[in-house]
Structures are given as structure tokens and as C-alpha cells.
């Protein structure tokens, strides 16, 4: 029995200068992004008497959730002092139909542009891509006039339609590039078996698009939840999202500036996007690797 061949050459050092530099860069980057979050968290757990001492990095002497409770249920967001929970419920009402509508329309559009190729498909796709790079502020005034004439201005339906329209270019790009990467033989075999547009889409394409659907959900949930200007303009007073309510709490100029309540309200507003990323981060990477950015 022959002896196993031993590797030649010098054994690599465990800690090289390059590796030390890489670790240092990663640690500094982590501290850069985590320090503001740490400051917000510890500030939200302190009473105002402790905050006035100015030591923002110190841990709270007696942690309390009083600021969180105030931010959620009693902070003033204008003339009313019902806390940020009203904006949370409004954001949920806006988020769910907007995400569902934008992903459904984008999936169908991307599927049609990838396999069926209707007349003018390339021009339509190019137009959608150009629209994706135009600042949406350009369209606000025309949309306000159009929605006013249609009778859906300052309504839940209006803000859902707006988010669907502005999400369509990105969603179409994601699904179109994902479907293009699939074997064309699947589509041709289904056509030979007599399947039509919707049957192929529902029974074949959608089950294979789960990773890219998760990517689309993450992008849309983050974008729609964090939106401020569209919700302020199109949602109306009865449907103002959480970001608008947060702005009203933080930028109030009456009475004492309660920084602990401001920080608690900010963290409450950020909980949904953070939860989405933490719970579906693996799916996001898988969807990107499966063809989300291929073209």
C-alpha cells in the first residue's frame, strides 16, 4: 500500500497581514453600522433625566419600557395623541394589497415578456426600464390630477395603485430575467400538451419562481413600508402610514423634546423591515443567485 502523497510548499500562516486587515475592516464596518442602533436602543430605555447627562453610550441605570409604551399608544402625532399604532395599522393596510398587486402584475408582465413575446415586447420592456430610473417625484403632480379626476385621490385605493405603478418596472425586470433563465423546453412542452397562457403561468412558472417571489416581497415590503412622500401625498389623512406619523412625533416643536420616545418610535417603525430581512435573508440570497440579476 503506497503512502499518501504529502502536499509540497510552505504551510500558510494562520494570521497574515492581509487577514488581520480584513478582520479590522469588518469590525470597523460592523461598529459603524451598529453604533447608531445601539445608541437608539439604550436611549429608548432611559428616562429623560438620565439622557440629559449627555452620556449617550452609557447603558441605562434602570432600563424602562415607558418610552416604548408612550411611543406606541400616547405620543402626539399632530392634534391627536394616540401614538404610532395608528400609523402601524395604516401601513399594514397599505402594505399588504400593494405588495400583492405589484408582485402579481410584475410576475405576469415578466412572464409575458420572457416567453410569449407579444408585438412590441422589446419596446415595452425598454420603456419600463427607462421609467425605473426616472425620479418618481416627476410623476407626483400629474398623478394627483389624474386621481382627483378619477375620484380616488386621498384614499387607500389611490396609494395602492401608486405603489403598484412605481413597483412595476422593478418587478417586471426581476421576473422577466428569472423566467428567461429557465429552460425554454419546459414552455414548449407545455404548449405541445395544449396548455394556455394562464395554465403554464400558474402550474409551471409560479412554482419555479418561489425564490424570486421572496426577493420581490423583500424589496417591495422594504420600499413600501419605508415610503414617506407617496404616503403623505396620496394616502389622505385617514390612511397616513407609519413613517408620516413618525415624522410628526420626531419633528414636533411643542413642549419638551423627548428623545427616548423619538428613539422608541423610530425602532418600532423599523421593526417590520428588520424582521423581513432577518427571517428571509437566506431566501433573498438564493433568489439573487437563481437569476434575479441575470439578463
Domains and CATH numbers, the chain: 17-64 (no CATH), 85-292 (1.10.3720.10)
Residue 196: all three cell numbers together: 394556455
The whole-angstrom separation of Cα 86 and Cα 82 is: 7
Q: Phi and psi at residue 79, in whole multiples of 5°? A: -80, -20
> pTM (2 decimals)?
0.81
Residue 4: all three cell numbers together: 499518501
Runs of H (alpha helix) within the chain: 17-44, 48-51, 66-73, 85-111, 121-132, 137-150, 156-180, 184-192, 197-200, 210-225, 229-234, 242-250, 259-287
Residue 182 vs residues 78, 103, 113, 205, 209: alpha-carbon distances, Å: 52, 19, 13, 9, 10
The whole-angstrom separation of Cα 155 and Cα 237 is: 9
The whole-angstrom separation of Cα 278 and Cα 286 is: 14
User: What does the pLDDT profile of the chain (295 residues) look like in tens digits?
Assistant: 455 556 565 655 567 788 888 899 999 999 998 999 999 999 999 999 898 888 888 899 889 999 999 999 988 877 778 889 989 999 999 999 999 999 999 999 889 888 877 777 778 778 877 877 888 888 899 999 999 999 898 899 999 999 999 998 889 888 988 888 888 888 889 888 888 889 989 998 998 888 889 889 988 999 999 999 999 999 988 899 999 999 988 887 566 788 899 999 999 999 998 888 788 766 666 666 655 444 4
Residue with cell 412622500: 229
Amino acid at each position: 500500500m503506497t503512502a499518501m502523497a504529502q502536499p509540497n510548499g510552505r504551510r500558510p500562516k494562520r494570521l497574515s497581514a492581509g487577514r488581520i486587515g480584513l478582520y479590522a475592516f469588518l469590525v470597523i464596518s460592523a461598529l459603524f453600522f451598529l453604533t447608531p442602533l445601539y445608541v437608539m436602543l439604550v436611549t429608548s430605555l432611559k428616562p429623560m433625566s438620565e439622557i440629559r447627562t449627555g452620556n449617550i453610550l452609557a447603558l441605562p441605570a434602570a432600563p424602562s419600557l415607558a418610552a416604548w409604551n408612550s411611543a406606541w399608544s400616547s405620543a402626539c402625532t399632530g392634534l391627536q395623541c394616540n401614538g404610532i399604532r395608528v400609523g402601524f395599522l395604516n401601513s399594514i393596510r397599505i402594505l399588504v394589497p400593494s405588495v400583492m398587486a405589484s408582485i402579481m402584475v410584475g410576475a405576469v408582465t415578466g412572464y409575458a415578456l420572457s416567453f410569449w413575446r407579444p408585438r412590441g415586447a422589446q419596446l415595452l420592456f425598454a420603456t419600463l426600464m427607462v421609467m425605473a430610473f426616472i425620479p418618481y417625484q416627476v410623476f407626483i403632480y400629474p398623478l394627483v390630477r389624474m386621481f382627483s379626476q378619477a375620484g380616488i385621490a386621498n384614499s387607500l385605493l389611490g396609494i395602492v395603485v401608486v405603489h403598484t405603478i412605481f413597483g412595476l418596472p422593478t418587478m417586471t425586470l426581476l421576473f422577466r430575467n428569472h423566467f428567461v433563465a429557465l429552460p425554454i423546453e419546459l414552455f414548449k412542452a407545455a404548449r405541445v400538451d395544449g396548455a394556455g397562457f394562464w395554465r403554464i403561468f400558474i402550474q409551471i412558472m409560479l412554482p419555479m419562481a418561489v425564490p424570486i417571489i421572496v426577493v420581490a416581497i423583500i424589496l417591495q415590503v422594504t420600499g413600501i413600508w419605508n415610503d414617506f412622500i407617496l404616503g403623505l401625498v396620496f394616502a389622505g389623512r385617514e390612511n397616513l402610514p407609519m413613517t408620516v406619523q413618525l415624522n410628526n412625533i420626531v419633528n414636533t416643536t411643542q413642549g419638551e423634546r423627548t428623545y427616548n420616545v423619538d428613539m422608541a418610535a423610530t425602532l418600532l417603525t423599523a421593526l417590520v423591515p428588520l424582521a423581513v430581512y432577518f427571517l428571509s435573508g437566506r431566501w433573498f440570497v438564493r433568489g439573487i443567485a437563481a437569476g434575479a440579476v441575470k439578463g
